[in-house]
Amino acid sequence: MRFLDGHRTADAVLRRMSLERVVALTVDEARTEYDSLCRVWEASRAGGNDRALDARSIADRVALRRRLRGSR
């Protein structure tokens, strides 16, 4: 039960942090984020290129973590 409670708490914190970040985005930053999501979506639809998709996903996650901790 504590395990699930911990995950619920972490999820709530991450959700709050994400919302705070999204609200603070400039129009250009929001467009960049949207374009990045579109590129990942298009790469996933291409099929047969799982390595490229994995690499892109990892790069995007690292970039997001850096932004969230404030080291853009």
- Domain ranges for the chain, please list them: 2-68
Question: Residue 11 and residue 7: Cα distance in Å, rounded?
Answer: 6
Distances (CA, A) of 10 to 44, 63, 65: 28, 20, 15
Q: Which of 72, 45, 43, 65 is nearest to 56 (CA)?
A: 43
47 has a pLDDT exceeding 90: no
The model's confidence at residue 12, banded by pLDDT at 50, 70 and 90, is very high
Phi (first) and psi of residue 54, to 5 degrees? -60, -45
Tally Cβ neighbours within 10 Å of residue 70.
Answer: 6
- Read off the amino acid at residue 45: R
20 has a pLDDT exceeding 60: yes
